[in-house]
Structures are given as structure tokens and as C-alpha cells.
């Protein structure tokens, strides 16, 4: 019976629910920022190892990889949960609030790690109970440093994508009610390039700016030039957003400093727009140099490509989500987000897709991502684990032989 494994997975995950809530609360209470996820990784490593899963640590003790079966030579289906927290002070009044000053799971990565853990344990038990419909060969990737856009590349370098033919992931969505899931084929997040600008002037007395080359005036001109002329040079139907998030220069009210540093991001959906915007920013900087006499160096680094969800992988997620939450609660996401996600780095190696997991318990009191009161409705944990586990089983289905026909409604 084809449906046996579905029921079995559901029962396994239902039994796991108290443990998933406990794990998520533990991670929430003990957050670690990007690149410092040593205790988080160790805990996941031990808990997954205790289940008899073949675990290995990620680079420098951050992150965990799980391979089932351990030495399988064939292609694997992977799924990823990120594990890092943010430098934000937790201001929630709940028993599991962060115990670390200034560090908080404000992006739901504690929930992602928990869902990935739940999916891994459920898949293992399904095989142990001889209820897997076909051989399951998979890898779970518990990834550090998503927020600093470096963890995915580190995990890939550690072999996370070796022999992977499909990969799935999720992100919590506080704007969607718990019990709903969002999917989207095609672009899901934006390309994001970090922008660093060094402006070198000549310092002087605040009373006599004509004797200086004022880098603060140059910075002000450059910021307003970027904000005005980048959009003016881009087709209004294309998405591009430049934001300067850090301005650093000077230390006295009456002294014109020597240098100013600016940092920001450039986000685009199309790679042609990305390239032309990068060129254009360099050109605008040359123009501001000309006007102000300051030297301006522009550097782009840390580029994260857009997450592009593969149509077939999205269909696998949509089917899984529709089975778990009901087709009426599985939404098509209308537009991509201008946020970025380093899940895109895995998609450079194999096609895959990510879904949005609704986590709002009360839509009238939404706590947005990256804010000090962010929280998730924990009923979402088993939903996320079930969707991930089902997608992995479905994607492991042998492509030759007697493929089971399923009814499919095409995505618009
Ligand atoms: Ni996030």
C-alpha cells in the first residue's frame, strides 16, 4: 500500500513532538551567533548520533552532516536546516527566552534545525520499521553561519553536496498562519552583493572646509546619488535596491576627517540587472570623485546568488505540503523576496527548492523576523519535519521501473 509510509511518518513525527519542542526551546534559550555554533552543533551531533544516525561534524566544530546509509555510493537527496542566531537582545517574556545577553534566535533557525532533526529521525525510524517504500539515500545538512552568508559555502567545501542530486530547505514565515505552507517555483530570494566604499579626503578645520577635501560631504553626495540614479537607470519593472547600512567617519564635531567608510547591500533579481548595477555604481563613484576631489574606492564582496527554486523540486514540496496541511493551506507565493538566503549556494551544485513554513499563532500579533520579540508557534515544528521528510521520500523514488503514477496539478 502506497499510503502506508505516509501514515507511518505522521505517527513517528507525532510521537517525536514533545522532543522537538524541547529541542527547539533548548536551542532558543542557548543561541549562538554565526560562526560560533559549537554547543548547538555538539547537541545536534549527540542527539542525532544517539538515534544511530551516521553523523560527522562540520568544519571547525560548527555544523553537522548526517549520511544515511553511511557509505551509500549512489545519489543522495539532501535537506538543510540552518542553526545560527543573531546579535539581538531577546525581549520576550517566555520561559525559554534567550539566556545569552544580546544573542537571539530571531530568524527561526532554531525551528529550522529542529525540523531538520525531526525529519532525519523520522526517516531513520521509517527505514527501521521496514516501511520505506523504496531505498532512502539522504543527507541532512545542519548548517552554521547562514546570517553571515558563509556557512553554506563552508559546508559545500566540506563535501555537503557530494553526490547530491536534489536538495530541500525551509524558512519560517511569521506572516503565514501556522498550519499553512508557501511554495514558489522560480526565483524565491534576491541576489545580494555586499558593498564597501572607502572615501579618502584631506582633513581640516571645520571652519575652513575650502582647505580640505571633505570626505563626509563626498559620502553624503555619493549616498544621495546612488539612491537617486540607480533606480533612474534601471527599468522600473526590474527589481533593484541599494541600501547603505553603515556610515563611519570622523570623531570631532569641528574637524573634517580624512576618511569615511560606507557599507551596504545591492539586491537584484536578474543577473543582468545585477551586473549593470555594479558597473553603474562604479561610474557614479567616479562622478562624485570628480565633483568632490575625494578618492573613492568601491568594492563588492560576499555575493549570494538568488535562490532559484527548481520546478520539479517545488512540485515535490507542494505535493508533500498539500498532503500535510491540505491543498487549501498550501499557498503559491506571488513574488520573490528581496531578502537573500545562502541556500542559493547549494543550488549551484544541484537543483532544489525551499518552502516557507507558516508560524503565526495569532495573525493580529505578528512578530517579524529579526526583531526582539520574534517567536514561532511550535505547532509548526511537526509540520516542517513532515513536509521535509515526505519530500525526501518522494524525491528518492526510483526514476526507472514501475513509477507510481500520481495526480499532478501543474503550478501556474
Ligand atoms: Ni533566516
What is the 109 CA–ligand 1 centroid distance (Å)? Answer: 6
| Spatial CA neighbour of 264 closest among 230, 237, 307, 312 | 230
Distance 163 CA to ligand 1 centre (A): 26
CA of 369 to the centre of ligand 1 (A): 8
Residue 54 to residue 68: CA distance in whole angstroms: 6
For residue 252, how far is its CA from the centre of ligand 1 (angstroms)? 38
Distance CA 124, CA 138 (A): 10
For residue 31, how far is its CA from the centre of ligand 1 (angstroms)?
14
Cα(12) to centroid of ligand 1, in Å? 27
- At residue 167's C-alpha, the angle toward residues 164 and 168, to 5°, is 160
Helix (H, G, I), strand (E, B) or coil at 226: helix
At residue 408, the pLDDT reads 45
Which residue do the cell numbers 540552518 mark?
82
Contact call for residues 60 and 38 (beta carbons, < 8 A): no
Q: What is the pLDDT at residue 322?
A: 98
Q: pLDDT tens, 44-62?
A: 999 999 999 999 999 999 9
* Domains of the chain by start residue, with CATH: 5-187+306-395 (3.40.630.10), 191-304 (3.30.70.360)
Residues paired with 76 in a beta bridge: 164
pLDDT at 409: 47
pTM, full prediction: 0.89
45-52: long-range contacts at Cβ-Cβ below 8 A with a sequence spacing of 24 or more? 47/23, 47/117, 48/117, 48/120, 48/121, 48/140, 51/120, 51/121, 51/124, 52/124
Residue 107 Cα to ligand 1 middle (Å): 5
Q: Cα of 319 to ligand 1 centre, how many Å?
A: 24
Residue 338, Cβ neighbours under 10 Å: how many? Answer: 18
What is d(CA 110, CA 83) in angstroms, rounded to the nearest whole number?
6
Sign of the torsion angle spanned by Cα atoms 145, 150, 190, 249 = positive
pLDDT at residue 3 in the model: 57
**8-state DSSP, 208:** -
186 is written with which cell numbers?
522560480
Tens-place pLDDT, residues 78-109: 999 999 999 999 999 999 999 999 999 999 99
CA–centroid distance, 105 to ligand 1, in Å, is 9
User: Which parts of the chain sit beneath pLDDT 50?
Assistant: 1, 402-412
Q: Where are the alpha helices (DSSP H) in 240-331?
A: 271-292, 311-325
Distances (CA, A) of 152 to 68, 98, 142, 166, 346: 20, 25, 10, 15, 7
CA of 83 to the centre of ligand 1 (A): 9
Amino acid at each position: 500500500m502506497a499510503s502506508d509510509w505516509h501514515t507511518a511518518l505522521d505517527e513517528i513525527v507525532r510521537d517525536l513532538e514533545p522532543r522537538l519542542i524541547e529541542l527547539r526551546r533548548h536551542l532558543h534559550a542557548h543561541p549562538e551567533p554565526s560562526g560560533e555554533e559549537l554547543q548547538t552543533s555538539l547537541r545536534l551531533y549527540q542527539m542525532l548520533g544517539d538515534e544511530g544516525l551516521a553523523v560527522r561534524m562540520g568544519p571547525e566544530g560548527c555544523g553537522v552532516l548526517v549520511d544515511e546509509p553511511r557509505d551509500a555510493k549512489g545519489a543522495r537527496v539532501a535537506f538543510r536546516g540552518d542553526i545560527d542566531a543573531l546579535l539581538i537582545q531577546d525581549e520576550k517574556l517566555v520561559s525559554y527566552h534567550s539566556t545569552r545577553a544580546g544573542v537571539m534566535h530571531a530568524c527561526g533557525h532554531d525551528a529550522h534545525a529542529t525540523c531538520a532533526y525531526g525529519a532525519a529521525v523520522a526517516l531513520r525510524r521509517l527505514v527501521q520499521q521496514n516501511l520505506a517504500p523504496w531505498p532512502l539515500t539522504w543527507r541532512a545538512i545542519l548548517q552554521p553561519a547562514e546570517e553571515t552568508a558563509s556557512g553554506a559555502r563552508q559546508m559545500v567545501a566540506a563535501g555537503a553536496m557530494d553526490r547530491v542530486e536534489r536538495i530541500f530547505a525551509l524558512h519560517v514565515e511569521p506572516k503565514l498562519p501556522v498550519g499553512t505552507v508557501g511554495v514558489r517555483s522560480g526565483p524565491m530570494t534576491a541576489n545580494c552583493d555586499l558593498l564597501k566604499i572607502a572615501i579618502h579626503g584631506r582633513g581640516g578645520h571645520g571652519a575652513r572646509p575650502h582647505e580640505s577635501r571633505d570626505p563626509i560631504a563626498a559620502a553624503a553626495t555619493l549616498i544621495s546619488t546612488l539612491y537617486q540614479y540607480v533606480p533612474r537607470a534601471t527599468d522600473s519593472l526590474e527589481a533593484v535596491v541599494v541600501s547603505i547600512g553603515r556610515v563611519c567617519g570622523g570623531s570631532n564635531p569641528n574637524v573634517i576627517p580624512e576618511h569615511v567608510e560606507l557599507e551596504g547591500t545591492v539586491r537584484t533579481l536578474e543577473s543582468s540587472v545585477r551586473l549593470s548595477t555594479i558597473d553603474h555604481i562604479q561610474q557614479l563613484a567616479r562622478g562624485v570623485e570628480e565633483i568632490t576631489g575625494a578618492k573613492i574606492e568601491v568594492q563588492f564582496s560576499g555575493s549570494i546568488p538568488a535562490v532559484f527554486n527548481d520546478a520539479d523540486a517545488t512540485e515535490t514540496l507542494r505535493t508533500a505540503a498539500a498532503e500535510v496541511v491540505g491543498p487549501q493551506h498550501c499557498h503559491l507565493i506571488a513574488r520573490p523576496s528581496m531578502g537573500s538566503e545562502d541556500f542559493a549556494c547549494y543550488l549551484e551544485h544541484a537543483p532544489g527548492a525551499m518552502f516557507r513554513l507558516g508560524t503565526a499563532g495569532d495573525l493580529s500579533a505578528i512578530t517579524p523576523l529579526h526583531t526582539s520579540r520574534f517567536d514561532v508557534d511550535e505547532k509548526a515544528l511537526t509540520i516542517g519535519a513532515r513536509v521535509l521528510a515526505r519530500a525526501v521520500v518522494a524525491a528518492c523514488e526510483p526514476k526507472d521501473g514501475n513509477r507510481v503514477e500520481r495526480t499532478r496539478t501543474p503550478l501556474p
